[in-house]
Amino acid sequence: MASETQVDEAPARGIPDHIEVTRALEAIFMVVDEPQSVVGLASAVGRPVKEVRAAIADLVADFDGLNGGPQRGFELREVGGGWRIYVRSDLDDVVRDFVHTQNPSKLSQAALETLAVIAYKQPISRGAIASIRAVNVDSVVRTLLGRGLITEAFTDSETGAIHYETTDLLMVQLGINSLDELPKISPLLDDGSEGFDDVR
Amino acid sequence: MASETQVDEAPARGIPDHIEVTRALEAIFMVVDEPQSVVGLASAVGRPVKEVRAAIADLVADFDGLNGGPQRGFELREVGGGWRIYVRSDLDDVVRDFVHTQNPSKLSQAALETLAVIAYKQPISRGAIASIRAVNVDSVVRTLLGRGLITEAFTDSETGAIHYETTDLLMVQLGINSLDELPKISPLLDDGSEGFDDVR
Amino acid sequence: MARSPESTVEPVDAPAGFRVTLDDFDGPFDLLLSLITKRELDITEVSLSVVTDEFLAYLRALDTGDGYDSDGLDQASEFLVVAVTLLDLKIASLLPQGELVDAEDVALLEARDLLFARLLQYRAFKEVSGWFAAGIEAEAHRHVRSVRLEDQYRETTPELKWTLSLDDFAALALLALTPREIPTVGLDHLHAPLVSIREQAAHVVALLRQGEPLTFRQLIAGAEVKGVIVARFLALLELYRNSAVGFEQLEPLGELTVRWTAENWNDENLVNLGADYGQ
């Protein structure tokens, strides 16, 4: 997600030896507004990925109250490909009045189903989505694009068909960290349906 | 677009008995932008001011590592009559380096294109930008806001959608005195893209 | 959260939606689908026209005068999706069967299975969309730390290096604002297959009319896409129905030989061929 910014700067030199990685990570988590990947964090603090991974696990346990301290009102979650601080879910109602996020309107059933098709079949062209859904999906695809839940992956050089894939934002909104966490439905999709996909 | 989830819900009046005030307060501190007054916090959690003041003192000591835990990478400070979480000053350099690498001196192609869309279509909502650009523009918009190249123009009272416009800084960068000096691009576009607006 | 295949054939809708009354079935549309997918109800026994009539009546009842609400539209689109698949399924089961030997029945069954699989696939996506809805709903109540950067850090971000001229900027805007696709009213959603049975029939006719009998294997030589093979097979069935070709097979699952048997063939016959498949 951080790809909006170009990385032609020299990497950060890393943190001084006397500072614990956990403390540096805590500080960084206070200023970020996007999920932070372990690799990105490792490069920011100038320590090996393995060490950073261990430090994150330590912080997660710490905030969860497993290191002898209290269970914090916040937690560290891995969502949408990286780590971020969230309010612990028991306290969602308590903080609700302090956040002014607008929850976007609910997706229609058609949009949800189309989203599911794209999530499981990505990258997939609009025509292929339409042949699975057997209805016109143009406006639904546009809605999903506008919501940032899907994006254009590539354009087929032969057919000119744009192929779509899901975004990190979808994973964030689903509260998952990877597409592997989608429910398995493949047993149903494997048999026979291939022939129809090949057509498009 | 309207926030169904928050509007018609009763405001949180106090926290359940089993939740400790300190935990509720640290949750609130994780999501707020502005320093919070003790009185405001007391009313939010529905506990006496005295109790909240004591809980804040407890949290300050806790984050400072005086309650047996580590000294955190962040701290709770009273600034301008209210409390807010800040990066602990020992870690300023670490965070500064991090922020530096996250904000390179050149805008990405994606950011430039989004900026161009906003310049020609302002005021424009994030959803409308997204449907023109066909990608999620949240982080790009944040980058442009952070750079001071765009600003929030107004919030649509019906949909709650924030509309953005460009700033004087952009005109300075482009060397123009007024938006009228932007070169005209195909007038057809004025009509053509309108249809996308109804996505949000 | 993994689901077993069995779970996907349970009805998912509240009973409040569209109901169907047929000779041997009375209940929610979704239950009808469940029974068909469980093969407890024979698709050939279901009158699709009756189902369709009932659905249209149901939609009219939903129309309050201000158009349909989104639930109604969702149901309408779902109905269309399923009806198209059911139609295909039914056509496949109604294709000529009487004189076919066992192997063709097997092959026919495969064509049906393909459609059946598509119905299953549709239902799988419909089911799993509930998981998406639940996930998005749950996550919408979570609160992530996202606060304004402290001024001290904001002030020290590197100064912006602006290299774009005014004209470059305008060009960029033009590029970004130009729609990449010309919006069209697509007919794709009417399930127009890219592989046309008619075209495949024309191909088969051209090969067979030369006189020599050909095996099915020869007829599909060079066709790599499964859809083309299926369409070519369906085309043969259609030609058989038109008495244009004959089949010969010496043993079950053995080589299938196709012979040209038409006496008065006219290429205009091709025009109506495969019309049942919605072309």
Q: For residue C261, name the pLDDT band (cuts at 50, 70, 90).
A: confident
With an 8 Å Cβ cutoff, is B28 touching chain A?
yes
Lowest-confidence segment of A159-163, B41-45, C55-59, C112-116 by average pLDDT:
C112-116
Task: Give the pTM.
Answer: 0.63
Q: Which of C153, C160, C176 sits opposite B133 (nearest CB)?
A: C176
| Stretch among A20-34, A156-170, B19-33, C12-26 having the lowest mean pLDDT | C12-26
Average pLDDT over residues C3-21: 48
At residue C100 the predicted structure's pLDDT band, cuts being 50, 70 and 90, is: very low
Task: Please report the pLDDT score of residue C105 as a whole number.
Answer: 55
Q: Does C8 touch chain A (CB under 8 A)?
A: yes
Q: Shortest CB distance from A5 goes to which of B85, B97, B104?
A: B104
Q: How much is the pLDDT for A190? A: 45
Q: Determine whether the interchain pair A112/C144 forms a contact, defined as Cβ–Cβ distance below 8 Å.
A: no
pLDDT band at C16 (very low <50, low <70, confident <90, very high): low
* CA distance to partner chain A, nearest, from residue B132 (Å): 8
- Torsion of the alpha carbons at A66, A72, A74 and A79, rounded to the nearest 10: 0
**What's residue C267's pLDDT?**
73
**Contact yes or no for C157 and B100 at CB 8 A:** yes
CA–CA distance, C30 with C21 (Å, rounded to integer): 13
Mean pLDDT of A76-98: 91
B160 to chain A: nearest residue by CA? Answer: A102
B42 pLDDT band (50/70/90 cuts)?
very high
**What's residue B56's pLDDT?**
96
A41 has a pLDDT exceeding 80: yes
pLDDT band at C180 (very low <50, low <70, confident <90, very high): low
The pLDDT mean for chain B works out to 82
ipTM exceeding 0.90, yes/no: no
* Whole-number Å distance between alpha carbons of A51 and C182: 51
Strands (E), A48-187: 74-79, 82-87, 124-125, 150-155, 162-166
Q: Partners for C (CB, 8 Å, 3+ pairs)?
A: A, B
C57 has pLDDT over 90: no
For the ranges A128-132, A166-170, B177-181, C14-18, the lowest mean pLDDT is seen at C14-18
For residue C133, what pLDDT band results from cuts at 50, 70 and 90? very high
Most C CBs within 10 A among B166, B173, B177, B178, hence the mutation to make, goes to B173
Q: What are the chain B neighbours of A31 within 8 Å (beta carbons)?
A: 87, 95, 98-99
Compare CB distances from C177 to B86, B117, B181 and report the shortest one's residue: B117
> How far apart are the C-alpha atoms of A56 and A77, rounded to whole Å?
10
- On chain C, the residues whose CB falls within 8 A of the CB of A176 are 135
Who wins on pLDDT, B5 or A142? A142
Between A198 and B73, the more confident residue is B73
The DSSP code sequence of B30-66 is HH-SS-B-HHHHHHHHTS-HHHHHHHHHHHHHHHTT-
Cβ-contact A141, A164 below 8 angstroms: yes
Residue C262 is predicted with a pLDDT of 80
pLDDT score of A10: 42
A4 to B45: CB separation less than 8 angstroms, yes or no: no
Q: Give me B122's structure tokens.
A: 């302002």
Count the residues in chain C: 279
Q: Give the DSSP H/E element, type plus range, for residue C172.
A: helix C166-177
Shortest Cα distance, chain B CAs vs residue C183, angstroms: 10
Instruction: Report CB contact under 8 Å: A175, C142.
Output: yes
Residue numbers in A near B91 (CB within 8 A) = 19, 23-24, 27
For residue C6, CA distances in Å to A142, C79, C81, C120, C123 come to: 33, 22, 21, 11, 12
The predicted model gives A110-123 an average pLDDT of 92
> SS3 of B155, please?
strand
The whole-number average pLDDT for the span C219-226 is 78
Cross-chain residue pair A23–B98, CB shorter than 8 Å = no
Cβ–Cβ gap B173/C161 under 8 Å:
no
What CA–CA distances, in Å, run from C259 to A51, A86, C143, C196, C264? 73, 71, 70, 22, 15
* Of B140, B12, A92, the residue nearest C140 (C-alpha): A92
Give mean pLDDT, residues C236-264.
80
Mean pLDDT, chain C, as a whole number?
A: 71
Q: Is A128 on the interface with B (CB under 8 A)?
A: no
Place of tokens 């990685």: A21
- The pLDDT, as a whole number, for residue A194 is 41
pLDDT tens column, C80-90: 667 766 776 66
Q: Bigger pLDDT: C127 or C181?
A: C127
Give the highest mean pLDDT range of A168-172, B55-59, C141-145: B55-59
Q: Which of C278, C174, C258, C175 is nearest to C210 (CA)?
A: C258
User: pLDDT digits over B86-124, tens only?
Assistant: 999 999 988 988 888 877 788 888 889 999 999 999 999
Interface test with B, best of A8, A83, A91 (most B CBs within 10 A): A91
Give residue B198's pLDDT band: very low, low, confident or very high (50, 70, 90): very low
Residues in C 143-172 with any Cβ partner in B closer than 8 A: 143-150, 152-154, 156-164, 166-167, 169-170, 172
Question: Is pLDDT above 70 for C150?
Answer: yes
- Return d(Cα A14, Cα A12) in angstroms, integer: 5
| Cβ of residue A54 closer than 8 Å to a chain B Cβ | no
The pLDDT of residue A3 is above 60? no
Q: Out of B20, B73, B101, name the one closest to residue A26 (CB).
A: B73
C69 CA: distance to closest CA in chain B (Å): 17
Query: With an 8 Å Cβ cutoff, are A31 and C194 in contact?
Result: no
CB contact under 8 A, B146 and C157: yes
- Across the interface, whether the CB atoms of C156 and B33 are under 8 A apart is answered no
- Residue C80 CA: distances (Å) to CA of A188, C89, C118: 21, 14, 14
Cis ω before A123 (30° cut-off from 0): yes
Q: Do the chains contact at C152 and B132, CB–CB below 8 Å?
A: no
At CA C227, angle to CA C229 and CA A116, rounded to 5?
160
Which chain A residues are closer than 8 Å to B5 by Cβ? Answer: 103
Cα radius of gyration (chain C)? 27
The pLDDT confidence band at residue A83, using thresholds 50, 70 and 90, is very high
A chain contacts of residue C195, beta-carbon cutoff 8 Å: 199
Greater model confidence, B136 or C143 = C143
Amino acid present at C120: L
Q: What is the pLDDT of residue C62?
A: 67
More confident residue, C183 or C258: C258
A58 touches chain B (CB under 8 A): no
Higher pLDDT, A112 or B11: A112
Tell me, what's the pLDDT at C110? Answer: 62
Band the pLDDT of C222: cuts 50, 70, 90: confident
Calculate how close chain C gets to B190, using CA atoms only, in Å.
10
> How many angstroms away from the CA of B41 is the closest CA of chain A?
10
Angstrom CA distances, A36 to A11, A19, A20, A44, stand at: 16, 20, 18, 10
